[in-house]
């Protein structure tokens, strides 16, 4: 093989290698997470995907500063005001919504979330609700297998929601949601609504009154 032939062979090998790289790169699977209301007081700061261990991780900042009644749990929800920047101009509350898009992922996956609380409120609970991508219909097909967290001691898992509660917290440490993506076929998108909650003022007043009465009763018993 002469010098010209060697040069052509090397160039052809490089072209083939680069072509294969782009072909396989284009076939790489990736879960996408997007914020529904860009420009509001909530942001997704980082997201990473570990295909080998089938883990998708993201961190976010929860900065909403408006309260509305959250009827499912009879508490206040920490939300954006309807006319806040980045939110739709409507009378409905502007929740921390995001859309998770699957790109062929199947099997058992762990979704790990860390939430930094920059709102002016301490949280008494945290809720994950699952919807269609347009947030019109609750979505529940028994894909949730397990939920763990290092912040709230009480965990309630429902077909289309997860409730965390117990105590008062200033942030939400690592939450791990394990899901079976085989039931989704590895395609489609899921709307995720996250709702931090805090007790209503009346609830706090009743709690304070109850503690005061309990303290007074104990004091009288000791005095006797």
Answer with the residue of higher pLDDT: 92 or 117.
117
**Mean pLDDT across the stretch 201-216?**
45
Rounded mean pLDDT of the chain? 80
The pLDDT of residue 17? 41
- The domain limits of the chain are 30-215
CA distance 36 to 31: 16
What Cα–Cα distance (Å) separates residue 13 from each residue in 1, 3, 17, 27? 15, 15, 6, 21
What Cα–Cα distance (Å) separates residue 206 from each residue in 199, 217, 220? 11, 16, 21
**Mean pLDDT across the stretch 96-106?**
92
Contact 178, 145 (CB under 8 A): yes
The pLDDT of residue 2? 57
pLDDT digits (tens, 9 = 90+) for 16-71: 343 433 333 334 558 999 999 888 889 999 999 999 999 999 999 999 999 999 98
The pLDDT of residue 184? 82
């Amino acid at each position: 093989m002469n010098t010209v032939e060697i040069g052509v062979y090397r160039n052809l090998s490089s072209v083939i290698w680069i072509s294969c790289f782009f072909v396989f790169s284009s076939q790489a699977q990736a879960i996408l997470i997007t914020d529904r209301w860009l420009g509001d007081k909530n942001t997704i700061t980082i997201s990473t995907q570990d295909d080998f261990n089938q883990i998708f991780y993201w961190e976010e900042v929860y900065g909403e500063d408006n309260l509305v009644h959250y009827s499912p749990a009879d508490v206040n929800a920490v939300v954006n005001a309807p006319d806040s920047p980045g939110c739709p101009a409507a009378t409905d509350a502007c929740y921390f919504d995001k859309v998770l898009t699957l790109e062929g992922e199947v099997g058992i996956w762990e979704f790990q979330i860390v939430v930094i609380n920059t709102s002016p409120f301490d949280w008494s609970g945290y809720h994950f609700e699952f919807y269609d991508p347009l947030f019109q219909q609750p979505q529940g097909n028994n894909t949730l297998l397990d939920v763990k967290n290092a912040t709230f001691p009480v965990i309630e898992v429902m077909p289309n929601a997860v409730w965390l509660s117990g105590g008062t917290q200033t942030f939400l440490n690592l939450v791990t949601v394990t899901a079976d993506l085989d039931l989704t076929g590895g395609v489609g998108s899921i709307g995720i609504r996250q709702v931090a909650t805090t007790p209503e003022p009346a609830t706090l007043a009743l709690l304070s009154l109850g503690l005061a009465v309990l303290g007074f009763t104990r004091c009288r018993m000791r005095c006797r």
